[in-house]
Every structure is written in C-alpha cells, then in structure tokens.
Chain A
C-alpha cells in the first residue's frame, strides 16, 4: 500500500506553514537585516540560530560551513548549509509505512498527533485505525476515544494499567482481518532515562513485527517544538531502544522554531517528517525544509 500521496503538501498546508514560519516580531530579524553587506555579521546569525534552539554546536557547524562556502550574504550561505544538511536523506522514506508507532517523552503531543495523522489518512481515502496503547497516563485512552469519535475514526482501546503490547497485538489482528491501514499507535509518554520503559518499546516493536510482518512499520518520535537541547538526548535514547524512522515536530504554533530537530538531524541523521502547527485536527502538515530553515533564521532579509 502506497501512502505517498497523503504526504503531499496542499496549498492550504503551505499557508499554514507560512503562518508559523514567519515571525511576527523577531527582534533578531532587525539585526539580521544588517547582514546583507559584504562582511556577514556571523554573531547576529548565531544569535538567531541559538534563539531557535539549534544549539551552539550545530549553529557553530553551520556557520563554519557557510564561512567556507563562496558567495552570497551570510544569511543565504547559512540557509544553504542548513538545507544541504536537511537534504541528506537517510536510507528509506516512510511513504509506504502502514503501521505508525508514536513514541516520545511526556506531554509532547503524541495523542493529538495520532488523531491528526488519522484525520489526514482518512482525508486521503484511507481506512486508518487508532490504537490507544497509552495504558499508563490517567484518561489517555478516553482522550483518544473522544478524538476518534469526533473525527469518525475507529479506535482500539487498551485497558488502563494493562499491557500496551497486548492492546497493540489485538489491534493489529483486527486491522489484518478488517483491512485497516494505516494503523496509528499512541504509546505512553516516557522519560528517555527510564530504562525499563524504554525496553517496553523494544518489546512493542517485536510484537508488531510478529503479528504484522508484512506491514512496514515506522517508529516516529514526537518531539516538542519548544524543546531545547535535551531533544538530542531524547532522540538518541529512543533511537537506540526503539529505532526511530522519523521525527514529528509539534507545537510550532507556540512561537518556538524547533531548531533542536536540526541538531538531531545533524547528530543522528533522523529526518523530520511532519510538523504540528496548531490544535485543529488538520493542523499536521508535511515537513517543508525551506520554510523550517527560514523560521530558524528569522525573517528573510529585506531585499
């Protein structure tokens, strides 16, 4: 089953990306406007990248790369360096995945993102199934049930306090029998430092591989757009225990720019697949590297 088409960005999507990418009043934008001259103001560019949570290490690396590259103003050189970094594709794309396992720390927006992915799949004519496998957080299952009912999407519910792997097993059996795809699984939030909970993810992955070996499974790390440099530690830990196939960057309507995802890309090679840009069911859109990088750098310089 090809899901590539439901990743296509509509013009409506692009408007929403533009809305969050263009800062209303970025004090750094003013500083950036000064840098169109012959000598780029690297410290202003650095300040902008830092304010976007790119982090000192990645920001320094980008500026280093930009310094070494030939022409253009400093901003467009850094922009090109960032785009080159984001353009280096990791092996497979997730276009054909039909089991999506959402993982992440507490409070990043996994449950709402699961519902948004399902809405998007349904809108593309698919028959998605939501799996409420967060059996730990109080009322997480109710939350996904309400969202599924609202959006007309079937939900398989785990038992509060029960084994999430069991719920996922049952859901995949149902999906196999009734032809649901994609199967979108919401898991409990877990701090990446909790070894036992990280092991649970590895177990869940094994269950999926056993029950639905023919389904291509992608594990998507949901990363809070307001996260700082700890996002790198989160990605590293989840990648090593569950194997991450891509990043979903949420809450980019908060004013945060999610620059840590660039640092994650640089250190771990994990690609950003989707971004969350609002609270409506349709506010999840495919990642757009150019809009993202423009956001990190603040407003485009006045031409």
Chain B
C-alpha cells in the first residue's frame, strides 16, 4: 500500500543531497517534486498546498544537525508533517457501551458492505460478539450480500423487509442485539452516488435511534480530488469519528487518507487490504508515514510476526523459540538454523517484497527481494542450510562458544549447490 507515493517521494528527495543549509533553489525544487508526488497520489490540491507551506516553513527553520543532508532533513520534516496530518499515533474505537454501535456510511461502491463484514470478523477475533445490520432499504440484493458474508464468518445479521424505514430497522436491531446478548452492532447503511438529502436524512434517523458512538466513513482508496468534498458532505449529518480506507490492496496511492485527515480532521482507523473477510488492518499513522517515506515499518513487521505465530494452528513453542533466537541475534550469535526459521516465518508473512519494505532502509530493495524469491535463491539458501550437519555448520560452533570461527573455511554444503557467500 502507498507504494507509488513512497517511491516517487524518495526519488524526488534523493536529489537533495547537499549538506549545510537548504538553499532556496533546492527547497523550491524539492517542494515542486513533493507537490507533483502528492498530487499524483490524489492528495486534494488545497491540502497539498497547506502541507507544502508547512514543509517550507520548517525547512527554512531547519538547522544543520550533525552531518544530515538537506534531503534527509526534508524527509524528517515530511515524515513529521504527514504523521501529524494522518492523526498522530492512531486511535482505538470507543466500544464501551453495551451494545456498542458502529454506523458505517459512504458513497456507492466504496465497499461498505464488505467492510462491515470485515469489521465484524475483526471484533469477533478481539473477543466481541458483533451483529451486522442491513440498513440499505433500496439497493437490490444489498441485504442478501451482507447475509452471505455474515453467514461466511458466522456472525448474526439483522434485516427487515425491503421498504422498512431505517428508524425501525435501527430500533429493532438494537433491541435484537440486547435480546441476544450481543455487544457490538455494526450498521451497514445505504450508499448513493450523490450525497442527496434523502440519504443524509436517513443517516440522521439512524443516528437518532441507535446513538452510535463510532460513525465511520468508508472511502475507496482510489478516490481522487473529491475525497475531501465527500467527507465534508457527510460531516453535518453524520459527524464522522473515523475513516476506513478501502481497497488499499490495489496500487492506488491512497492520498485520500491525507485529504480527509488533513482537510476534514477525520482520522483513519482501518484500511481494507483485500477481498477476504480477514483483510482489514489497523491504521497506524506514524507507521504509514514511515512507509510512505521508505523509512521502514518495524512495528508492523513485528505485529505480523506475532499474528503469524499466534494464529490458529500455531506452534505453541514458536514464541519461545523466537525469543531465544532474538536473544542470540542480539549477542551476534545467530545460527543458520535461526536464519532458516526466519526465512520460513517470513514466507508465512506474505509476499517477501511487502515484508522487506517494512525493514528500515530496505524500502528500495523490495524488488530485489522479489527477484530473489522468483529466482529460487531463498529456496537454495534453505537447501544449503538443511544439508549442513552440526559439524559442517560454522555458526553452530560459534553459538556453542567454542573456537568455531575457523571452521567456516570447511566445506559448508557438500551435498548442495556450490556455496556462495550468504551475505551476497
């Protein structure tokens, strides 16, 4: 996600390598490139203009810090500005009420219904007991769509006959949730291509009867300059408490997040990253800003590692093993077995390019990593490690604290390919 934005921003800032004070000409050139990048990412032009102004001010104030070049300082400033715009360190949903009510709304095709099911699954995994409510009284088969998705994730769904006023749908849904002892009610409201009075009135009615503390706007990541207008259009009737950016699994650059957060002050809470019901991720503004800038995203990587290990079917001893491996790595004594287990874990995290991008400084290496996978290089590495015996594994000796370093001259993998330096 946000791939293109990060690569073009990095490309533009790489040119600002001069040390010392950022010259006026460099600043103008850098800002022009950043502008092109932000606009190309569909950040609303007025929001982009405001960001550029902030960056200019701070860059001009920027003092020379121990050997940092102009480009690096601009990166730092950009990172701060983007993080601030995207909403600081993120927020949790307020689900204290019983039942807690979440109202989802957005334009037609934004992905409300799919998102509703994803959110339900996510909350269920967090130990909640959600209910889905089909509150689109008009779109043909909208309730059927939600019903199929709800059945797929085994979450109860409430629906009423076509034509039932939304106020009745809302009232009965809340009552049903109480009766069934469910603690989160997720309301999938109707979509429209245009923000008309009827739609806004429906949202007011739904709010009046269900009193949702969380009112989440769903916006397609590919939306262009109208993103801000869409958010503002919903503001009066729905007072959005958060934004869900859907379809971020494509190559849309997702500038809508910056437009809406920066222009309307609505923080992003989740992003949709695929068609499966699992594909909804927490949004971490600081991490995403890092990612946009190609600075890596270690926190997300760490989280994915944990999820990969604690998920269903996980090896219960995996966590302990990882801890031990981490400790060895910190002491500089990582073994080839550790490397092997890391390689295998990484392949369970998803496409290697995505994983590599999360490692600081490796943003530009994602393509190389993908190429390494495609060429079977990782498989070969795995085969080499597997063909080692404790005697031929040079790392084993070091881990055991013996005089093993010398043994690294011994044949590493007699049964495997001609060994090449692993650090290549």
Contact = CB atoms under 8 A, between A and B. Distances in A.
Interface stretch (B144-152, B168-176, B236-244): B144-152
A226 B256 CA distance: 11
Contacts of B275: 106, 136
B45 A227 contact: no
Interface in B200-245: 220-227, 229-230, 233
Contact of B253 (A106, A108, A229, A251): A229
Contacts, number: 144
B193 A233 contact: no
Interface stretch (A31-39, A90-98, A139-147, A175-183): A139-147
Interface in A128-154: 136-140, 142-143, 145-147, 150
> Binding site of B, secondary structure by majority: helix, strand, loop or mixed?
loop
Contact of B250 (A193, A226, A255): A193
A229 to B, nearest CB: 6
Interface stretch (A49-57, A72-80, A202-210, A238-246): A49-57
Contact of B109 (A47, A56, A106, A234): A106
A250 B249 CA distance: 22
A139 B141 contact: yes
Interface string A41-69: 00000010011110111000000000000
B222 A138 contact: no
B141 A227 contact: no
A111 to B, nearest CB: 9
Contacts of B251: 192-193, 230, 233
Given A50-B45, A56-B40, A255-B194, A139 B144 contact: yes
B7 interface: no
Interface string B173-204: 00000000000000000001111000000000
Interface residues of A, number: 47
B1 to A, nearest CB: 11
Nearest to B193: A251
A191 B246 CA distance: 12
Contact of A230 (B39, B192, B222, B226): B222
B393 interface: no
B63 to A, nearest CB: 32
A147 B139 CA distance: 10
A86 B142 CA distance: 37
B170 to A, nearest CB: 22
Contacts of B221: 230
B351 to A, nearest CB: 11
Given A109-B193, A255-B195, 16 more contacts: A47-B45, A51-B225, A53-B42, A105-B247, A107-B108, A138-B144, A138-B146, A191-B249, A193-B250, A226-B107, A227-B222, A229-B41, A230-B250, A254-B194, A254-B230, A255-B194
Interface of A: 47, 50-53, 55-57, 105-109, 136-140, 142-143, 145-147, 150, 191-193, 224, 226-231, 233-234, 250-251, 253-256, 259-260, 276, 278-279
